[in-house]
A and B are shown apart, each in its own frame.
Chain A
Amino acid sequence: MRTLVADLHIHTCLSPCASLRMSPRAIVAAARACGLDLIAVTDHNTAGMVEEVARAGRAAGLRILPGMELETREEVHLLAYFDDAATCRDFAAEIYALLPDRPNDPRSFGDQVVVDADETIVYVEPKLLLSALRLSLEEAAARIAALGGLAVPAHVDRSPYGLVTQLGFVPKGLRFPLVEVDGASRPAECGPGAVLWSSDAHTPEEIGSRVTAFRMNGATIDEIRRAALGLDGRSAAVRRRPRREGEAG
């Protein structure tokens, strides 16, 4: 068992709201610079950058968890994590079909580009990714679970797009062992469980500004779930910033 310092909510240049500087190279360099062991790529309603960032991560010895940040019908943001990039990619294809066929207006919302390792633009996403899916929160959570993934409601206490601020309650039958919060604690509406802190970085400078230290046996979905539940000595503890080498504490 070891401690993995993780920032599990990072956008890339494919998210319209994120900086064009969020290339695979820049993301991995920033994560390495602040001593992160694990990051997740979570673009809005797409996984189009997951594999390129994972490649850059492998070259630098940084583990990348494939993910997405879904926007459900209720305009609730839900993070979805998977063990392997192929499952994430297949799920992203399902999600794309549920995304309204509305073109992005880059001036209004920002650019949506896939870039390669050399930061060359290889694809421009035409559909607006910042749209609510034709998929409810319950449907999304069920589908993620069926694919062996982990669903984590994003910034539940933030308005808009947070589960608690948007709905005021967690729909009956849904249980999330891990919820991401902006504040210090898990809102009572979410029931028992752990909290996730992450940067929700839209620029390289924001990466690692808020992190969660997982004590677990490797960076798998199952281990993260067990750490959230506090099983067998595993744990998830929030930190404002990872400790750098030589720092006290």
Chain B
Amino acid sequence: MTLRDIVQRLALEVVVDGGGLDREVSGGFSGDLLSNVLAAARPGNLWITIQRHVNVVGVAQVAGLSGVLLAGGEAPAPAVVAKAEEMGIPILLAPDAAFELAGRLHRVLLPEET
């Protein structure tokens, strides 16, 4: 499933397209400690986080993630948006809490397990 499909099915706001919406999403990862994401997220994962720091973009790039889904609705700062655009990292936004988003993403990505 592509990031674009997920954006449509979960009704997410696309903050940064990054030219990456047609990337295949390999799965999801939820976490707010950057070191944990770097150590445990797998390439192609869509990362759900409440973090808004610019280092989120660097972590997504280094970990080879398909995108970042910001939970909790607050838009990221312009510097974060600019960095994500420069790096081509899609940034998505939703008002829901991480738990809700992870549940909905899980249903979409792994319907047979739900």
Contact = CB atoms under 8 A, between A and B. Distances in A.
A109 B55 contact: yes
Interface residues of A, number: 16
Interface string B37-81: 011000000000001010101110110000000000000000000
A157 to B, nearest CB: 15
Interface residues of B, number: 15
A160 interface: yes
Looking at chain B's contact residues, the main secondary structure is helix
A108 B58 contact: yes
A160 B51 contact: yes
A2 interface: no
Given A75-B33, A160-B51, A108 B38 contact: no
A107 B53 CA distance: 16
Nearest to A161: B53
B58 A105 contact: yes
Given A107-B87, A108-B87, A160-B53, A132 B34 contact: yes
B35 interface: yes
A131 B55 CA distance: 10
B58 A109 contact: yes
Contacts of B58: 105, 108-109, 130
Contact of B55 (A100, A102, A130): A130
A105 B62 contact: yes
B38 A102 contact: yes
B61 A105 contact: yes
Contacts of A75: 33-35
A160 B32 CA distance: 10
A112 to B, nearest CB: 13
B35 A108 contact: no
A108 B53 CA distance: 13
A102 B32 CA distance: 19
Contact of A108 (B33, B51, B61): B61
Contact of A132 (B32, B35, B51): B35
Given A75-B33, A102-B38, A109-B55, 11 more contacts: A75-B35, A100-B35, A100-B39, A105-B62, A108-B61, A108-B62, A109-B62, A130-B55, A132-B33, A132-B34, A161-B53
Interface of A: 73-75, 100, 102, 105, 107-109, 128, 130-132, 159-161
7 contacts: A100-B35, A107-B87, A108-B57, A108-B59, A108-B87, A109-B58, A109-B62
